[in-house]
Homo-oligomer: A and B are copies of this chain.
Amino acid sequence: MNCELCTAHHPREIWRDDLVYVIDASNEALPCFIRVISTQHKAEMTDLSEDERAYIFRILMLIEKNMREIVCPDKINLASLGNMVPHVHWHIISRWKDDAFFPDSIWSAKHQEMPLEHFKHRKSAAERLLKILPKQLDALRNNQTASAC
């Protein structure tokens, strides 16, 4: 098996526990883009246990909430596709009306360019988000038996 997501340490990793790791997936067009990846090589959410997927959903919602508060995007996009790499991973993407793809998906064709000043400002906010998330994820993990989703 040669799966690029089966790795004990991803170069863009910001947090990890036994079940998932979280990476900064931002790029030159999308300043705030986070990926949540199962540590298990399973293709679908329903290949995971109920507890494991509930935990992943709580992580997605924690990241979405913080992303909205700190980065203030116009829209959040959530997706688990995995057609290229069939290993559960979720995209959490800040979208803005002036981003390269809006209102289309980020997998559609680019049709505009985000103004550089906007990109810089949002990238700076995304960096603040990436700094505070590990503590928040630690807290969620330590509290994962409490009811939340």
- Indicate with 1 or 0, residue by residue over A81-111, a CB within 8 angstroms of chain B CB atoms: 1111010000000010000001111011100
Chain B nearest CB, measured from A53 CB (Å):
6
Among A43, A46, A86, A103, max chain B CB count under 10 A is at A46
Q: Which of B76, B77, B81 contacts A77 (CB 8 A)?
A: B81
Cα(A79)–Cα(B89), bound, Å: 12
Q: Which of B95, B102, B108 contacts A108 (CB 8 A)?
A: B108
A13 in contact (CB, < 8 A): no
Given A44-B64, A54-B149, A61-B45, A80 and B83 contact (CB-CB distance below 8 Å):
no
Cα(A104)–Cα(B82), bound, Å: 9
CB <8 Å contact, B77 and A103? no
Given A83-B95, A149-B149, A65 and B46 contact (CB-CB distance below 8 Å):
yes
- 21 A-B pairs with CB atoms under 8 Å apart are A44-B75, A45-B61, A46-B64, A46-B65, A46-B68, A46-B76, A50-B149, A53-B61, A54-B54, A57-B57, A57-B149, A79-B79, A79-B105, A83-B95, A83-B103, A83-B104, A104-B107, A105-B108, A107-B107, A107-B108, A108-B108
